[in-house]
């Protein structure tokens, strides 16, 4: 911490030198002094490749800035509003011995004040809100009654926190920054430092501010879909104590009979919990494959072999193996976290693959989970069914790969998959998943254009746009919603602003099925010309030839950084996909949007 | 903390090349002396020497040397 404070100026300078920083505009609306929050948040965001520009409200002017529409804030046009309030900003605490009904009314009044404030931010500023919930006061004049009595302050704040959470569940683009947890983690004595509170009206000490900045950074990272997706694990002395090749299965230290064995089991449980919420697991270990697999048959092993989507056990250098895992799973190196008890292996991977996150976990297994937690690699702003099914997807993908190797001809293999696609204009039920895909797909993504959920909602209803989502099912399972396309209609031309696909359905003709559906949509709306845009990025090289292979021709005068490709649909179009059957109607009822597209057709 | 150690710490806090500060610089003339560096000065005194320095007393310092004297006085009370 002291190092961070001391070196922040030079750190900032250094971090600003990184290439390809993503810009974002953040308004910090504070109920206390926020200078430190801004300074620390800037450092942590820069470390994640995000370059923030800030607007700070005046001291404790968070409410007025929104209510009276401060023109400076309005002109700033934030992408994100961080509402940095703490328990000091509760307008009125209950009176002693106040009845429960009166306390309830007070909760309602406080909520009404916050809700009107949030609604104004959403509707008038259109920004994502990150809202602190409440920490607890250090002092308890009523002692333990503060928690048990309805008029107690602790009790009152917990009620407000529950109401804040309930609002978050009902509103997209509203994310809770859980300072109730953070303050407990830091410790309330350390959380608010008297020197800083009385001297500067800072509601958080510098130590607490670091914890806050880390947490907010994780949230912002997740908003931009830059959270990590995959955890790569070593085996010996990482998932169990001992070396399976030397010590044998029966001598592994794992399970509650042994103090260290219990810590290994608990770490496995933590990893299993991550896997259950959609984090992909992979093994990268210097071991004989048979020995390595045997380890998971240990009766106290929480993790089982089938929990891993990739399994690299050999004697090759680990950077090579990790690179291969990334290729096999079709994910970027920058979405991987590597955990190994061996400092030499960590250093080697960190040096060879700077994109991979390599936390310094040390060699004490009882701290591994905590260190991973502290870094907040896997933060998500929402959890959808697709996340929970992800492990199953990757598992079925392994089965598909086995099936693939038993066919001589790739077309024959595709035919055997019995694929069915559901493709149509955006449906409300899918908007969350569509936004998630738009903001996190990097490889099969022609423009890497990001949309906020409000923008996705807007284009879904705007007849000036063509929108398509695609779901793909095959005999091994449902791949879920995997492809998104958004085109802007100008007279008889549609310009494709977004075309992306999840890499787990690569080489399955899904992109052809999407194109067939696009051409049909265009024909139905009297659009003849399709303009494809390709904006090369560090990660989307795989689609450089996409438009060319579909029969588009490169337009003159388009720059290398923003290539324009042109296609004119023939009057009789022959569908390109041969192995995907298209569902005529979505499985879910189509909305009234159909009428709108008819209206759009006549108006073009 | 020696005078040299203190000066090099202040160089870092203010984002200056090592060896810049001599001690007689006026705080108000230093470009990066602001609320953030003031808070950093207090926080570092707290975590390095375990002393709590009141902001009011920092505000009464005019030069880098005054800050050093304040930090030393707080850590070695007579």
pLDDT tens digit sequence for A207-229:
999 999 999 999 999 998 889 99
Contacts for A494 with CB less than 8 Å, ≥ 6 apart:
A466, A487, A488, A518, A522, A527, A529, A530, A531
- Give the mean model confidence (pLDDT) for residues A451-471: 93
Confirm whether A386 is domain-assigned.
no
Distance between CA atoms of residues A446 and A541, nearest Å: 9
Query: Are residues A213 and A259 both part of a single domain?
Result: no
Tokens of B4: 């040299």
Give the one of B35, B47, B55 whose C-beta lies nearest to A35's C-beta. B35
Q: How many CB pairs under 8 A join A and B?
A: 53
To test the contact with chain A by mutation, choose from B5, B15, B20, B39 the residue with the greatest count of A C-beta atoms within 10 A, namely: B39
Give the one of B35, B39, B54 whose C-beta lies nearest to A206's C-beta. B39
Whether A195 sits inside 8 A of B42 (CB atoms) is yes
Query: Are residues A234 and A199 both part of a single domain?
Result: no
Rounded to two decimals, the pTM is 0.73
Using CA coordinates, name the residue in chain A closest to B9.
Answer: A6
Whether A13 sits inside 8 A of B13 (CB atoms) is no
Say whether pLDDT at A447 is over 60.
yes
Confirm whether A158 is domain-assigned.
yes
**pLDDT at position A93, please?**
96
B-chain CB neighbours of A206 within 8 Å are 39-40, 43
Distance from CA of B78 to the nearest CA of A (A): 22
Give the one of A36, A195, A202 whose C-beta lies nearest to B54's C-beta. A195
Query: Are residues A138 and A58 both part of a single domain?
Result: yes
Question: Cβ of A9 under 8 Å from any chain B Cβ?
Answer: yes
**pLDDT at position A593, please?**
40
Look up the CATH number of the domain holding residue B48. 1.10.1200.10
**pLDDT at position A426, please?**
94
Which helix (H) or strand (E) segment is A269 a member of? helix A259-276
Query: Are residues A515 and A456 both part of a single domain?
Result: yes
Query: Are residues A203 and A62 both part of a single domain?
Result: yes
Number of structural domains found in chain A: 3
Query: Are residues A185 and A239 both part of a single domain?
Result: no
Number of structural domains found in chain B: 1
Whether A206 sits inside 8 A of B43 (CB atoms) is yes
**pLDDT at position A452, please?**
87
Look up the CATH number of the domain holding residue A510. 3.40.630.30
**pLDDT at position A594, please?**
41
What is the Cα B46 distance to its own chain's centre?
12
Strand boundaries in chain B, DSSP class E: none
Query: Are residues A491 and A596 both part of a single domain?
Result: yes
Q: Which domain holds residue B55?
A: 3-75
Helices (H), A77-152: 100-120, 145-148
Per-residue pLDDT tens over the stretch A100-132: 999 999 999 999 999 999 999 999 999 999 999
Say whether pLDDT at A596 is over 60.
no
Tokens of A342: 């061996």
> For residue B35, with 0-12 CB atoms within 10 Å meaning exposed, 13-18 middle and 19 or more buried, which class applies?
middle
Last residue of a domain, one of A157, A192, A223: A223
Model confidence band, residue A603 (pLDDT cutoffs 50, 70, 90): very low
> For residue A534, with 0-12 CB atoms within 10 Å meaning exposed, 13-18 middle and 19 or more buried, which class applies?
buried
Which helix (H) or strand (E) segment is A33 a member of? none
- Give the mean model confidence (pLDDT) for residues A337-355: 93
Query: Are residues A480 and A536 both part of a single domain?
Result: yes
Confirm whether A398 is domain-assigned.
no
Look up the CATH number of the domain holding residue A181. 3.40.50.1110
Say whether pLDDT at A63 is over 70.
yes
Last residue of a domain, one of A183, A206, A223: A223
Q: Which domain holds residue A475?
A: 410-603
> Rounded to the nearest 5°, which phi and psi values hold at A9?
-60, -50
């Amino acid at each position: 911490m002291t190092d961070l404070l001391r070196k922040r100026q030079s750190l900032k300078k250094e971090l600003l030198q990184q290439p390809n920083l993503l810009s974002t505009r953040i308004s910090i609306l504070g109920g206390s002094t926020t200078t430190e929050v801004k300074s620390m948040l800037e450092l942590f965001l820069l470390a994640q490749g995000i370059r923030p520009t800030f607007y700070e409200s005046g001291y404790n002017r968070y409410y007025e800035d929104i209510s009276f529409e401060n023109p400076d804030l309005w002109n700033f046009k934030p992408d994100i509003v961080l509402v940095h309030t703490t328990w000091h900003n509760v307008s009125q605490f209950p009176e002693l011995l106040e009845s429960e009904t009166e306390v309830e009314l007070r909760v309602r009044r406080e909520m009404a004040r916050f809700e009107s404030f949030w609604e104004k931010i959403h509707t008038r500023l259109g920004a994502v809100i990150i809202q602190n919930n409440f920490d607890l006061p250090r002092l308890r004049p009523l002692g333990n009654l503060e928690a048990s009595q309805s008029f107690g302050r602790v009790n009152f704040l917990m009620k407000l926190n529950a109401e804040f959470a309930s609002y978050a569940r009902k509103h997209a683009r509203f994310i809770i920054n859980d300072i109730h947890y953070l303050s407990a983690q830091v410790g309330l004595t350390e959380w608010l430092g008297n020197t800083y509170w009385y001297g500067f009206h800072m509601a958080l000490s510098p130590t607490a501010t670091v914890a806050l900045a880390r947490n907010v950074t994780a949230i912002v990272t997740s908003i931009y879909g830059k959270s990590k997706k995959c955890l790569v694990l070593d085996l010996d002395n990482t998932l169990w104590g001992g070396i399976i090749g030397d010590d044998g299965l029966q001598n592994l230290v794992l399970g509650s009979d042994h103090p260290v064995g219990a810590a290994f089991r608990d770490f496995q449980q933590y990893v299993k919990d991550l896997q259950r919420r959609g984090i992909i697991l992979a093994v990268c270990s210097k071991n004989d494959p048979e020995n390595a697999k045997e380890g998971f048959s240990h009766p106290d092993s929480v993790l089982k072999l089938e929990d891993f989507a990739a399994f690299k056990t050999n004697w090759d250098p680990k950077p090579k193996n990790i690179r291969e895992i990334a290729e096999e799973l079709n994910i970027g190196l920058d979405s991987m976290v590597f955990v190994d008890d061996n400092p030499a292996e960590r250093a080697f991977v960190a040096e060879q693959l700077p994109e991979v996150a390599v936390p310094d976990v040390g060699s004490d297994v009882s701290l591994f989970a905590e260190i991973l937690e502290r870094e907040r690699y896997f933060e998500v702003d929402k959890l959808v069914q697709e996340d929970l099914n992800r492990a199953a997807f990757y598992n079925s993908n392994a089965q598909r790969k086995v099936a693939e190797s038993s066919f001589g001809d790739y077309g024959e293999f595709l035919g055997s998959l019995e694929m069915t696609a559901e493709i149509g204009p955006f449906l409300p039920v899918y908007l969350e998943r569509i936004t998630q895909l738009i903001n996190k797909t990097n490889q099969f993504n022609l423009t890497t254009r990001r949309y906020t959920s409000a923008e996705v909602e807007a284009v879904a209803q705007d007849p000036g746009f063509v929108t398509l989502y695609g779901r793909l099912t095959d005999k091994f399972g449902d791949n879920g919603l995997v492809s998104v396309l958004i085109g802007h209609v100008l007279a008889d031309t549609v310009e494709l602003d977004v075309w992306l696909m999840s890499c787990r359905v690569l080489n399955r003709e899904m992109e052809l099925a999407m194109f067939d559906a696009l051409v049909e949509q265009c024909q139905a709306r009297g659009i003849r010309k399709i303009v494809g845009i390709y904006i090369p990025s560090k990660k989307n090289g795989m689609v450089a030839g996409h438009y060319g292979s579909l029969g588009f021709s490169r337009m003159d005068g388009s720059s290398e950084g923003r290539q324009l490709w042109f296609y004119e649909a023939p009057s009789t179009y022959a569908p390109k996909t041969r192995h995907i059957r298209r569902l005529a109607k979505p499985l879910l009822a189509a909305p009234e949007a159909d009428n709108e597209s008819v209206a759009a057709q006549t108006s073009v | 903390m020696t005078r040299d150690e203190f000066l090099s710490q202040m160089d870092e806090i203010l984002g200056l090349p090592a060896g810049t500060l001599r001690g007689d610089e006026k705080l108000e003339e230093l470009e990066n002396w602001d609320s953030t560096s003031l808070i950093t000065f207090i926080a570092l005194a707290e975590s390095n020497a375990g002393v709590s320095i009141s902001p009011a007393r920092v505000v009464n310092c005019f030069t880098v040397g005054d800050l050093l004297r304040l930090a030393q006085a707080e850590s070695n009370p007579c």
